[in-house]
Structure 1
Amino acid sequence: MRKFLCLTFSLALIAAITTYVMWTNDRPVGHYLSDLRIKLVVDQGVPAGRGNLLGIQPELFPTDYQSPERLHRKLAAYLQQARDQGLVNEKTVVVLPEHVGTWLMLSGEKDELYQAGSLKEAMNWLAVSNPLRFVRALISATGDSRLDDAHLRMKAKTMARDYQQLFGGLAKEFGVTLVAGSIVLPEPSVSDGQLNPGRGALYNSTLVFGRDGMPIGQPQRQLYPTSEERGFIQPSVDQAVTVIDTPAGRLGVLIGSDSWYPQNYRKLNDLGAQLIAVPAFVRGRGTWDKPWHGNKGVSTPSEIDLKPGELSEGQAWHRLTLISQPPGSLATAGMSVFLRGQFWDQSTAGQSFLSSNGQHVADGDGRGAHVLNLWL
């Protein structure tokens, strides 16, 4: 009798494990109608043969990341509409928002993840659907938020591959220089033209792709992650900001709140930066108009005299972003581009703006996908 019970239990366990393995490997791709419209909300200056900064503020949702092909379709539609309006040429520098690549962690997952009611539930489905990847990532996780680290780390190789193929492909397809927002990866680096994740801490990083679709230089890591992210994203305070040559001029990139630190502009001045791109991200519906809660970086520079609650979040971004404001920044122009959309119960805020001649020109047009253009 005992042998029979043991045999029955063993067979049931094998059947359960087999069913679970089959379930994790079943990744159907459902039909999804995405809004491909985008509105030109700012068109500053006139064409003068020097190129332009073109900010793409997409409106994205989890299902847009169901596959790289689906996300490509949406972003390519945005760029095609900009091209149809005469805003794309061989000197165009396209700027995409912070974390537009990070959400590639959602690619190729099960329907239950996309249909989840909250971000926490979605991340549970991500772990359950990829048990071996998740366990390996959890063992390697660092920082205070080990679960968040593991969720981001577990698909790092495919995320890096998809990021380069997608955004490098868009740069080549449209013949532009493309600042590919940002992506969170463990110790990313470029070797022989290929973006590769490492094994160490997670960094929020960006790559710039040239008109040939190849990465230009090494990834620029975020120097000062926000307080919400420092539990799993490592600050890269020992990395110097860099400048790259583009057909429109020498370009520097400051990720998110890195654009609040005056010393970063001084370093870019020393490197001869003419243009500055700021991929940005603000979490929470309505946050843009709520009181600013203070500097969220690793440390507060002595030059920043803005007090928490003194201005709204949006006003603080305009006050602290010093692009094209001598003597802080000697760059002639720049653009801050925010990610918009809804990721389960987590909404986004932020209104993109461009900087030229010491002035900020803001989007200010509410929800939806937007294009901002600045002729140089």
Structure 2
Amino acid sequence: MPKLAFALFALILLGGLWGIYRTPPAPIVGGELELAEITPAASGNSPHLVAIQPWMRTRDYRSAATLEHRLDAYLSEARDAGLLASGSIVVMPEHIGTWLVAADAPAASFSAGTTTGAMTHLILANPLPFAAAFLRSNEADRMAAAVFRMRGDRMARDYQRVFAHLAERNAITLVGGSIVLPEPQVRDGRLIAGNGPLYNVSAVFHADGSIDPALVRKVHPIPDEAGFTAAATVDNLPVFDTPSGRLGVLICADSWHPDVYAALREGGAGIIAVPAYLQPSGVWDQPWGGYTTGWPDDVDPAVMARHTEGDAWMSYSLADRLFSTDARWGATAFMRGALWNLGSDGANILVAGDTAWIAGQLDGASISALPLPASRP
């Protein structure tokens, strides 16, 4: 009997310790926005195309609520600057939703020095769900795929909640950056994760907080994503109706390829938004490493030696390729900051008419904007 009592006590103790280990850290909200630059509003009450380049920290993903609070602070700055008039379109950066994979993870995930360490603690806190997801994953990077598949339902719910709130609160069209989800779809107004391949996707949220039923899937994943995300087809690239015109969305590397611009031109896009994420830190001024997603026929590989990374973004991405469409306005929004051991680089790029320019600050957060025509009735 004493042995049985001891065994029961040990099980209770271990269960309690495991429960403590699995407890997420207390949310931390607020803190310096690192906002280095904000574009002043055009005269009058014009709608704007706004690129938000936030400075993100690991702690901003402790919960969906902390992420919403952080992003709302940037939107408040844009609103106070007069940039969020009726008809404004706001672009968030690539992968701004992806790190919701860590929301409500154990405290150890947020004190880990690397993303690998953070995900290891997430796995240890959820061994059975991870094992089930691992058995259903056959991607090259099976571990990463299993983590995102395990968290897919929760991530889809949190992502929609955060960005729907932000869009409705500010009465804007919001391009919700991007998020990695398994076979996502919008059903009856709700974003849900499926059971198929993982995609890097972007959703557009309307001014009433509703999510558009059409999702943008990345067509040209970079090598770091290709191990666990699938490539979409250009045939399914949507164009969205907004109060300020037809909107096309291209996720980061897609903005370097002519096939996607042809699809947006066919869809009648007059405005193009590009959520982007660039690594590592300091790469913007370094020699360009060339396309990692396959060279398009209209770019000679010999030009690689003549460009920095920043030059290449201006020469072969939205800043130049928008002119191959009927679109007149475009914006690329980069994510900055330091998430675990991940660096970041880039600066917002704006295009209006036949002019393109770098609008953001490299070493901080930026809110960059250009005026759009008055909203349609």
Same fold (TM over 0.5): yes
Question: In proportion to residue count, which structure has more helix?
Answer: 2
Q: Which stretch of structure 1 is more off in the superposition, 13-22 or 268-277?
A: 13-22
Q: Give a deviation string over 1:246-273, Cα, whole Å, max 9, x none.
A: 0111000000110011121122111111
Which residue pairs with 1:247 in the alignment? 243
Give the Å deviation of 1:369: 1.6
AA partner of residue 185 (structure 1): L
Q: How far has the Cα of 1:295 moved from its partner?
A: 1.1
Listed one character per residue, the Cα deviations across residues 81-128 of structure 1 (whole Å, up to 9, x for unaligned) are 111111111110000000000011111122211111222211111111
Deviation at 1:36, TM superposition (A): 3.5
Contact 2:27 2:66 in 1 (8 A): no
Q: Secondary structure at the match of 2:65?
A: helix
Matched, 1:94 2:95: no
Between 1:52-61 and 1:365-374, the stretch displaced more is 365-374
Query: 1:65 aligns to what?
Result: 61
The answer to whether 1:141 aligns with 2:141 is no
Match of 1:285 among 281, 286, 310: 281
- Partners of 1:300 and 1:205 in 2: how far apart? 23
Q: Distance in 1 between matches of 2:78 and 2:322?
A: 31
Q: Secondary structure at the match of 2:202?
A: strand
| CA 1:47–1:325: 2 relative to 1, 3 Å | farther
Q: 1:355 aligns with which of 351, 357, 370?
A: 351
Task: Give me the whole-angstrom Cα distance separating, in 1, the residues matched to 2:160 and 2:322.
Answer: 35
Question: Structure 1 CA distance, aligned partners of 2:114 and 2:83?
Answer: 38
- The equivalent of 1:34 in structure 2 is 31
CA distance in 1, matches of 2:141, 2:249: 27
TM-score w.r.t. length of structure 2? 0.92
> Which one of 313, 317, 333 corresponds to residue 317 of structure 1?
313
Structure 1 counterpart of 2:375: none
Counterpart in the other structure of 2:265: 269
The structural deviation recorded for 1:225 is 0.5
Secondary structure at 1:335 match in 2: strand
2:179 alignment counterpart:
183
Instruction: Give yes or no for the alignment of 1:337 onto 2:337.
Output: no
Q: Give the corresponding residue for 1:222.
A: 218
| Counterpart code for 1:303 | D
Separation in 2, partners of 1:57, 1:255: 15
User: Contact between 2:22 and 2:107, CA under 8 Å: does it hold in 1?
Assistant: no
Instruction: Give the 3 Å change call, closer, same or farther, for CA 43–318 of structure 1 in structure 2.
Output: farther
Distance change (3 Å), C-alpha of 1:68 and 1:326: closer
Aligned partner letter, 1:27: P
Amino acid in the other structure paired with 1:118:
T
Write the distance in 1 (CA, Å) between the matches of 2:84 and 2:29.
Answer: 28
Asked if the contact 2:318–2:332 (Cα under 8 Å) also holds between the matched residues in 1, the reply is no
Counterpart-to-counterpart distance in 2, 1:321 and 1:271: 19
Segment drifting more, 277-286 vs 233-242: 233-242
Partner of 2:127: 131
Residues 66 and 109 in structure 1, CA contact (< 8 A), matched pair in contact too: yes
> Between Structure 1 and Structure 2, how many residues are aligned?
371
Output the amino acid matched with 2:35: I
Q: CA deviation at 1:324?
A: 7.0
**Regions of 4+ moved over 6 Å:** none
| Residue of structure 2 equivalent to 1:346 | 342
**Contact in 2 for aligned 1:59/1:341 (Cα 8 Å):** yes
* Range 201-210 or range 50-59, more displaced: 50-59
Structure 1 residue 32: Cα displacement: 5.1
Match of 2:325, SS? coil
Is the contact between residue 53 and residue 360 of structure 2 (CA under 8 Å) also seen in structure 1? no
In 2: Cα distance, 1:220 partner to 1:95 partner = 14
The aligned amino acid for 1:138 is F
1:235 is aligned to 2:227: no
- After the TM superposition, which of the residue ranges 324-333 and 232-241 deviates more from structure 2? 324-333
Q: Output the CA distance in 1 between the equivalents of 2:150 and 2:311.
A: 37
Q: 1:228 to 1:309 in 2, by over 3 A?
A: farther
Deviates more, 1:158-167 or 1:105-114: 105-114
- Counterpart CA distance in 1 for 2:70 and 2:2 is 57
CA-atom RMSD in angstroms? 2.3
Checking the alignment, whether the CA contact within 8 Å between 1:245 and 1:251 is kept in structure 2 is yes
